[in-house]
Amino acid sequence: MKKVVVFHSYRHPVLAALAAATYVGRLTAPGPAVADHGARRGTNRTTGAVLQRVLRVPGMAGLLAGGRGRLVEVAGGVLYLDRPSRSAVFPRALREVARVAGVGDRAEVRRVDGPVTPSLRLGAGLWRLPAFRGVAAALLEAGVRTCLPSLAGAVPTVPPGSIGRPRGEAVAKAVAGARQPAGSRSPVVVYCCYGSSHTSVVAAAIHVGRLDPTSLPTRDTVLGLPRFDRVGRSELGRLFPAGRGPAGEEVYFAGFGPGRRLVHRAALDLLAAAEVPRGQVLLVDALSRADWLVRLGGTLSRGLGLVGVGRPLVAAGIRRVYPALADLVRSTQARVGRTPGGQGSEEGRR
């Protein structure tokens, strides 16, 4: 396993890409002496030069096309999110997933919030329209030239110097760190939903044996589950332990908020970059089994604070979808049984 550094930005993903590229030495702030030299000669040698370097950053073309909501690797273990991360849930969730995967000490998540000039924002938006590509290029060039100097404070680990492959390779090797064997860590299952209060809580309870998957629980039983309909917004992104499953796997539940799909994809990308064995951590979307009654009750209780109205509705909704949640848990337990190291796998039975 290797160390991973993830850059993200609440404001604009270009900032995260620039920070990652600066970190590994692919970009530096444009020097005023070079620009003055070109001006004295009456030429325009530097026009577009910075932008050409930016466009060579891995994944930049896809980012300017709208991004896929994924982590893009710039060099060994250095990645950036190609869409805005929007809220504090994103970095918190990634750190939590890295922690339960056993790579928390080797996964760093950095937020970059430098200036986003109107020229950068407009240029990035126009870049998607081929007819305005020339205007977009000029705007992006101006915006990047403004942003790059400010990243020196945001990325303090990079010493000043020129762009070049040797320094980028040296940083990549330093980030990679020493490889470690996968070892015999127990598999990890994380049930995810919007607010870590309803479907994920119930699915985790079924998985660890707190609820019988073959018997419909009473409303009072559902309401009595630890943290059911009681997790606040400030706790989104946090992983709550539920216990261990039948194969010895660690089971957690979590809420990733409105950006849960973005968090889900990015967490898997982080684990892959950190060389966590495939299947070691399973992120399971429990919200996919919710119906309109669960969503309505959850919105009223957790979103609007109408607990007296929303909590009975969401409990009734959970009882309606309980068979679907039980099926989801059974399929997840079967996947754990096929994971190396699980007691249900061939390796785990040795």
pLDDT digits (tens, 9 = 90+) for 199-249: 999 999 999 999 999 999 999 999 999 999 999 888 999 999 999 999 999
pLDDT band with cut points at 50, 70 and 90 for residue 324: very high
Residue 25 domain-assigned?
yes
Residue 116 domain-assigned?
yes
pLDDT given for residue 251 in this prediction: 97
- Say if residue 109 is in the same domain as residue 197: no
- Say if residue 167 is in the same domain as residue 204: no
Between 182 and 313, name the one with better pLDDT: 313
Instruction: Average the pLDDT over 186-191 and give the result.
Output: 95
pLDDT given for residue 150 in this prediction: 79
Residue 23 domain-assigned?
yes
pLDDT band with cut points at 50, 70 and 90 for residue 28: confident
Residue 332 domain-assigned?
yes
- Asked whether 298 and 286 are in contact (CB, 8 A), the reply is no
Residue 183 domain-assigned?
no
pLDDT given for residue 156 in this prediction: 53
Residue 219 domain-assigned?
yes
pLDDT in tens, 286-304: 999 999 999 999 999 998 9
For every residue of 52-95, DSSP letters joined together read HHHHTSTTHHHHHTT--S-EEEEETTEEEESS---STHHHHHHH
pLDDT band with cut points at 50, 70 and 90 for residue 107: very high
Stretch among 23-37, 56-70, 116-130, 156-170 having the lowest mean pLDDT: 156-170
Instruction: Average the pLDDT over 159-163 and give the result.
Output: 35
pLDDT band with cut points at 50, 70 and 90 for residue 147: confident
Between 160 and 144, name the one with better pLDDT: 144
pLDDT given for residue 109 in this prediction: 95
* Sign, CA torsion 285/84/151/39: positive
Last residue of one domain, picked from the residues 145, 176, 207: 176
Burial label for 46, CB within 10 Å (0-12, 13-18, 19+), is middle
pLDDT band with cut points at 50, 70 and 90 for residue 2: confident
> Which bin fits 248, alpha (ψ -120 to 50), beta or left (φ > 0)?
left
Stretch among 38-42, 48-52, 101-105 having the lowest mean pLDDT: 38-42
Rounded to two decimals, the pTM is: 0.83
- Say if residue 107 is in the same domain as residue 246: no
Last residue of one domain, picked from the residues 156, 176, 196: 176
Residue 125 domain-assigned?
yes
- Say if residue 127 is in the same domain as residue 242: no
- Say if residue 211 is in the same domain as residue 169: no
pLDDT given for residue 262 in this prediction: 94
Last residue of one domain, picked from the residues 143, 176, 209: 176
- Percentage, residues of the chain above pLDDT 70: 81
pLDDT band with cut points at 50, 70 and 90 for residue 153: low
- Say if residue 162 is in the same domain as residue 238: no
- Say if residue 42 is in the same domain as residue 160: yes
- Say if residue 87 is in the same domain as residue 21: yes
Range of the domain at 281: 188-349
- Say if residue 170 is in the same domain as residue 199: no
Strands 188-193 and 240-244, by their bridges, are unpaired
Strands 188-193 and 250-255, by their bridges, are parallel
Structural domain count, the chain: 2
- Say if residue 218 is in the same domain as residue 83: no
Instruction: Average the pLDDT over 34-46 and give the result.
Output: 41
Alpha carbon distance 287, 255 (integer Å):
10
- Say if residue 222 is in the same domain as residue 263: yes
Residue 316 domain-assigned?
yes
- Say if residue 238 is in the same domain as residue 317: yes
